Amino acid sequence: MKELLLLLALATFSRADAEPMFSPEPGSPLRKTLMNTLRQPIMKALNQSVIFKIDWLQVKDGWAFIRGQPFQPGGQPVDYGITPYQDAIFAGVFDDGFCALLQWQEDKRWQVVVYAIGATDVVYAPWPKKYGAPRELFDLSRKKP
C-alpha cells in the first residue's frame, strides 16, 4: 500500500510540475526572443536577412516548436537562387517553409536544437523521441494558435 501511495504522490508531483503548453503572443518578449534565436541559423542557411510568418508556435517544459515561412524584410519572398536549396527547388522536392525545435538552456538562453528548411514531408516526426521534447508540441491537429 505504501508503494502505491508513493507512486500516486510522484505521479501527482510530476503532473503538477509540468508547465501547460502555450503559444506566446505576437510581440511578446518570449516570442521575440525565440524568433531572434532562430533567425541567426536561418539567415546563415539562406544567405540573406529574414523575417518569419509563423503558422505554429508552441512552448512547453523548456521546449519550443516553430513552423512557418521565411520572408525577406519588407515581406518579399526569399531569394532561393542564392541558397543551397535552388537545386531542390528545380527538382520539385522543396516546400517553402521551415520548422525548428528550440530548448531552454541552464545558462538562461534558448538554443536551436534542430531545424529544417524546405522539407516536403513531416521531417519533425522523430524529434520528440530523438531529442526528448514533449510530443504534444508537434500535434498540429490541435487548435491553431
**Rounded Cα gap, residues 13 and 65, in angstroms:** 25
**Per-residue cell: 93:** 522536392
The whole domain housing 38 covers: 23-138
**Residue 38 domain flag:** yes
Which residues fall within 8 angstroms of residue 109, CB to CB, at 6 or more apart? 37
Place of cell 539562406: 46
How many domains does the chain contain in total?
A: 1
**Residue 12 domain flag:** no
State the pLDDT at residue 143: 64
| In the chain, % of residues over pLDDT 90 | 83
Supply angle C-alpha 4, 132, 65, rounded to 5: 125
State the pLDDT at residue 14: 42
**Residue 114 domain flag:** yes
**Residue 129 domain flag:** yes
Sign of CA dihedral 44, 100, 123, 120: negative
**Residue 4 domain flag:** no
**Residue 70 domain flag:** yes
**Rounded Cα gap, residues 7 and 12, in angstroms:** 9
State the pLDDT at residue 144: 56
**Residue 83 domain flag:** yes
Q: Is the pLDDT assigned to residue 11 strictly greater than 50?
A: no
Predicted TM-score (pTM) of the model is: 0.85
**Residue 18 domain flag:** no
**52-72, pLDDT tens digit by residue?**
999 999 999 999 999 999 999
Q: Could you tell me the pLDDT band of residue 19, with boundaries at 50, 70 and 90?
A: confident
State the pLDDT at residue 6: 40
Mean pLDDT of the chain: 89
Q: Could you tell me the pLDDT band of residue 17, with boundaries at 50, 70 and 90?
A: low
Q: Could you tell me the pLDDT band of residue 47, with boundaries at 50, 70 and 90?
A: very high
